[in-house]
């Protein structure tokens, strides 16, 4: 699904193939999405989801993760951990992006 030729410093949203990508419980076209730092609480949930599902979050390689919690619908996100960054990034609707990653 993802282009694995991401190089340091390149914008991930320019390397993903056109298509629809998950954000929480919906899918949106890539043209309506941008990368942003994951809020701290979501970042914690994403790390937990990765451990639970046996998915390794590797730098510079996007991965889809689904968070599951009682009383909430499953929420799926494209997660990216760029080289040189401490925080995870997520692909989110442009209107929700407050700080570009």
* 16-29 confidence digits (pLDDT tens): 888 999 999 999 99
The CA–CA distances, whole Å, from 70 to 41, 74, 75, 80, 90 equal: 16, 9, 12, 25, 22
Q: What percent of the chain has pLDDT over 90?
A: 68
Is the confidence at residue 30, as pLDDT, over 80? yes
pLDDT tens digits, 36-54: 999 999 999 999 999 999 9
- Higher pLDDT pick, 67 / 99: 67
């Amino acid at each position: 699904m993802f282009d694995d030729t991401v190089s340091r410093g390149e914008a991930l949203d320019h390397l993903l193939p056109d298509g629809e990508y998950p954000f929480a419980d919906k899918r949106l076209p890539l043209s309506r999405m941008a990368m942003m730092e994951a809020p701290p609480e979501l970042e914690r949930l994403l790390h937990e989801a990765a451990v639970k599902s046996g998915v390794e979050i590797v730098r510079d390689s996007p991965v889809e993760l689904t968070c599951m919690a009682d009383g909430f619908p499953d929420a799926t996100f494209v997660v990216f951990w760029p080289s040189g960054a401490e925080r995870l990034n997520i692909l989110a609707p442009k209107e929700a992006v407050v700080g570009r990653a």
